[in-house]
Amino acid sequence: MPITICVGMMPVVLLLLLQAAGIVNAFVALPVTARLPPVSRMKALQGNTRIAPAHIQGSTNHGQGLSWAAATAVAMTAITVVRRARLCACTDSQARPVASSKCRVALMAGDKLPEGRKLRVAVVGGGPGGACAADELAKAGIETYLIERKLDNCKPCGGAIPLCMLDEFDLPLDIVDRQVRKMTMISPTNKEVQIGQTLKDNEFIGMVRREVLDSFLRNRAADNGAKMINGLFLGMEIPKDKSEPYLLTYNDFSGQDGNSRKGDKKTLEVDVVIGADGANSRVAKDISAGDYEYAIAFQERMKIDDAKMEYYKDRAEMYVGEDVSPDFYAWVFPKSNHVAVGTGTVIDKKGIQRYQQGIRDRAAPRIQGGEIIRVEAHPIPEHPRPWRVNDRTALIGDAAGYVTKCSGEGIYFAAKSGRMCAQTIVKRSENGTRMIQSYDLMEYIREWDAKYGPTYFVLDALQKLFYTSDAARESFVELCEEEYVQQVTFDSYLYKTVQGNDPVGDVKLLGKTISSLVKNNSKAPDAMRTLA
């Protein structure tokens, strides 16, 4: 929840502000244009070049609204115009397909697979991203291999998922350990704000155990026809031309258990590879996808006594302050029979232990005496990789870098990107009857950026505005008292869309935000409060 809730919370205010400013729309093209490949790569992506206009005109669920600061709007518009101009220039001259339409037709005809032979796709990594991709591919009759090194993997994770994920991915309710309906935001001076008052009876944030969620998704993919390989992916040979397959090498662990398992080295030939192997993706390395900045997240699972657990049974807490993280937030999330207490940081990774001590100290009245049953740490990507498609390989989920900034939410986005990438493969390969190329996979990137680029942008901006000083963090928590903020926050988190945006509410909120920031920046901080 830290991660998830924060998704909801942080975003709240800034989201509204930016919506009101019309900045979101102005920036729809930004993430895409900023990542446009250089000429050489674009040439390799024959046929994918019309992406520019689509991106520029991309629509967003995240609202329009009034202009807020004229100066800001003007600046944003100017930036957008410049980027658009650059993008169009690139589109027209460099990104146009190299092949003529005649060549293209011949190529596509040549790409038809022989009768009876289906497209072969290997999905490396069986987390939510990989499992959902494999499920979608297998359902469409594509020859699908899902390679997962650890079938009982318990990924370090808060496990908070949005309500819409249950319906969208047809997840049974009993997969959810706890239904969180109360969220407490706690400021640097321990001012507590309860949010979640606008939630309807049937609305909640789901808290899952990753070992449960991941294995449910993987088993479903297998039931639908994906071939499960319990193995460690070691690397792959990249084909030298379009007709050659990829040759994957992996250590096959089938029938072997425990940490001492050695595995048998095996190979697998496929036409297409999906890298779903998380933040330390081996597939990304093999295709030279480039690095990304990442946060280090640290979490302790703690068993607390029954009375204390009662408090957390349907509640998650999010703490902000220089003592718990210089650029992120810390959390206490409820799990099945314990809580997860953690924090994260990008800018001071070496200080992570100090920040973990910070959250232990702050939450002490509520977790004191807790027995630590598990300690975990893992990187969280901060932005997409420079390259997410190369040749016939695509990256999804954390391997691609699809965790939202500020909130650290990645489960839904991993599952969604897996599904979106697989649907693109199914469509472009005509249900696995035709070979695909990189320009086919680029369709998934175009769709992804058009749909979620603005979300990433807004959350990034939120983080910059509200996580920079304790005065700004006090304002952030203060603003969360607003019913309007709570409504929009939960709508955008739970349903991944903003419903019924109210321009008058936006303007009022803008006024309150400015006055709160001015107030908290110009006075001495309040005395530290004691948590009850």
Ligand X SMILES: Cc1cc2nc3c(=O)[nH]c(=O)nc-3n(C[C@H](O)[C@H](O)[C@H](O)COP(=O)(O)OP(=O)(O)OC[C@H]3O[C@@H](n4cnc5c(N)ncnc54)[C@H](O)[C@@H]3O)c2cc1C
Using CB under 6 A, list all residues that contact ligand X. Answer: 1, 3-4, 124-130, 147-150, 153, 155-160, 232-233, 276-278, 282, 297, 299, 342, 378, 380, 397-399, 403, 408-412, 414
Query: What minimum distance in Å lies between the beta carbon of 299 and ligand X?
Result: 4
Q: How far is the CB of 332 from ligand X (least distance, A)?
A: 12
Sign of CA dihedral 493, 499, 505, 510: positive
Identity of the residue, 317 or 474, whose beta carbon is nearer to ligand X in the bound complex: 317
The secondary structure of 312-375, three-state, reads HCCEEEEECCCCCCCCCCEEEEECCCCEEEEEEECCCHHHHHHHHHHHHHHCHHHHCCCEEEEE
Angle 529-10-453 from CA coordinates, rounded to 5°: 165
Give 238's DSSP letter. P
Contact of 402 with 396, CB cutoff 8 Å: yes
Which CB sits closer to ligand X, 29 or 279?
279
**DSSP assignment, residue 112?**
B
Q: Please say which residue, 30 or 399, places its beta carbon nearer to ligand X.
A: 399
| Structure letter (DSSP) for residue 500 | S
CB of 24 to ligand X, least distance (A): 21
> What number of other Cβ atoms are within 10 A of residue 353's Cβ?
11
The minimum distance between CB 361 and ligand X, in angstroms, equals 19
Q: Which one, 380 or 441, has the nearer CB to ligand X?
A: 380
Closest CB 229 distance from ligand X, rounded Å: 9
Q: Which is nearer to ligand X, 250 or 484 (CB)?
A: 250
At closest approach, how far in Å is the CB of 527 from ligand X? 32
In the complex, the smallest distance separating the C-beta of residue 298 from ligand X, rounded to whole angstroms, is 7
DSSP code of 149? S
DSSP 393-416: EEE-HHHHT-PPTTT---HHHHHH
At closest approach, how far in Å is the CB of 178 from ligand X?
12
Tokens of 294: 């990442």
CA gap 439, 424 in Å, rounded: 11
CA angle 289, 461, 184 (to 5 degrees): 110
Cβ proximity to ligand X, 299 vs 424, nearer residue: 299
CB of 257 to ligand X, least distance (A): 15
Contact 331, 318 (CB under 8 A): yes
Q: How far apart are CA 6 and CA 440, in angstroms?
A: 35
Q: End-to-end CA distance of the chain, in Å?
A: 21
β partners of residue 298: 343, 377
Nearer to ligand X, 45 or 380 (CB): 380
CB of 323 or CB of 398, closer to ligand X:
398
Task: Please state, in angstroms and as integers, the Cα–Cα distance from residue 45 to each residue in 111, 307, 436, 449, following that order.
Answer: 16, 59, 12, 17
Which residue is nearest to ligand X, using beta carbons?
Answer: 410
Indicate the residue among 22 and 410 with the shorter CB distance to ligand X.
Answer: 410
The residue (of 47 and 344) whose beta carbon lies closer to ligand X is: 344
Residue 316, phi then psi, degrees to nearest 5 = -125, 150
Q: Compute the least distance from the CB of residue 300 to ligand X, in Å.
A: 10
